[in-house]
Amino acid sequence: MSEGIVVGGTDEIEEGTAKVVEPEESGFSDAIAVFHAETGCFFALNDMCTHEEASLAEGWIEGETVECPLHSSSFSLRTGKVLCLPATEDTHTHKVEVRDGQIVLFPGVDADPDACAQ
């Protein structure tokens, strides 16, 4: 998906919240959560926690991390790296860009950990 898909306007995902993009919309095998971090950046991770079946989009966002709502594992929104137990496996990142006020998601394309889509 080199073109990416528009998942909404930047004003549709409030800072500190996330939107789930289902596989039917993205063409990717898993649901993807698009996060609007407190830093103003947009990031995307696989929505399911790697520890148990829980939606990361329903978790708590602080800075550039998200805490799973089920058992409190935390993940870096920038890299997908697990930051605390009980999860031990990193999650997958997806590239996000902002173009003309629209959030463009590139399902299956790894995010650049140094990028900040604003």
Tokens found for residue 37: 């971090």
- Distance of alpha carbon 112 from the chain centroid: 13
Alpha carbon dihedral 89, 94, 98, 102, in 10-degree steps, equals -110
pLDDT tens-place string over residues 8-66: 999 999 999 999 999 999 989 999 999 999 999 999 999 999 998 899 999 999 999 99
Confidence of residue 1 (pLDDT cuts 50, 70, 90): very low
Mean pLDDT confidence for 112-116: 91
The full set of domains in the chain, from first to last, is 5-106 (2.102.10.10)
